[in-house]
Amino acid sequence: MVRSPLAFAALVLAGLLLAGCGCPPLIENYATPRDTLATWQAHLCHDDPEGEYACLAASFQAAMGGFPNYYAARTALLEQRPMAGWLLRHADLRDYEAETSFSADGRGAAVRLEARGETVWLRFEREAWVTIGFADGTSMTRRQNHPIDELLGSQAGRQFLFIDKPALSREQLEAVRDVHMDSRWKIADLAGLAEDAGRSGAVP
């Protein structure tokens, strides 16, 4: 059976479109900047902007002034910069990751994405999170105000952990059964949105 070049091209295009329709699974993973970006992308693909917002560092959320401002700014970004929008929606960015760097203290990272002349910078911050388990089987997880190395200390030969959130009552302290601390890479800026918000004092 002979197909015309036009029909063949149409089949290839249809295959590419179908291949791009599937969204990656929503797996929350903040172990590395790449994992965090993949998590953010999955929420974007699944049309879950609140999930996207949860991937942002506290500093980014503060710079944007809340979820509505973030949503408006990132929607404008995706619409006004089509190539950047395509790049950020792409399921696998490993082929477009041009540069990744980490700060000397290990608390920050930057990723540069490039595709067809478009460059998108993302900054990340490593935050400390604490999960406290209680005797009744419940637990609570909170972002800390300080990085991990500032929450760990020692005095008189004994190590201690300082938790700045949440504030626990005496009854809650007595019911604590386990404490788990982990670090999570969160997005500190996306294509300059946080910087623009900081310079203007408001999000357009």
> Which residues, including other chains, have CB under 8 Å from residue 152's CB and lie 6 or more apart?
159, 160, 161, 162
Q: What is the pLDDT of residue 21?
A: 53
pLDDT at 110: 96
Query: What is the overall mean pLDDT for the chain?
Result: 82
Q: Which range scores top for mean pLDDT: 50-64, 76-90, 139-153, 154-168?
A: 50-64
Angstrom distance (rounded) from CA 113 to CA 62:
25
Q: Which residues contact 193 (CB under 8 A, 6 or more apart)?
A: 60, 64, 70, 73, 74, 77, 203
Joined together, the tokens standing for residue 10 give 């149409």
Give the pLDDT band (50/70/90) at residue 40. Answer: very high
The CA distance from 94 to 136, in Å, is 43
Residue 106 has pLDDT above 80, yes or no: yes
User: CA distances (Å), 2 to each of 6, 8, 14, 24, in order?
Assistant: 12, 10, 19, 36
Of 20, 26, 58, the residue nearest 39 (C-alpha):
26
Q: Residue 90's pLDDT band (boundaries 50, 70, 90)?
A: confident
With contact defined as beta carbons under 8 Å apart, do 29 and 36 qualify? Answer: yes
- In this structure, of 4-13, 69-78, 92-101, the range with the lowest mean pLDDT score is 4-13
Position 17 confidence tier, pLDDT thresholds 50, 70, 90? very low
The 10 Å CB-count burial string (b at 16+, else e) for 166-188 is eeeeeeeeeeeeeeeeebbbbbb
3-state secondary structure of 7: helix
In this prediction, residue 201 carries a pLDDT of 56
Contacts for 187 with CB less than 8 Å, ≥ 6 apart: 36, 37, 40, 55, 56, 57, 60, 122, 123, 124
Give the whole-angstrom CA distance, residue 57 versus residue 187.
5
pLDDT surpassing 50 at residue 182: yes
Q: SS3 letters for 72-108? A: HHHHHHHHHCHHHHHHHHCCCCHHHEEEEEECCCCCE
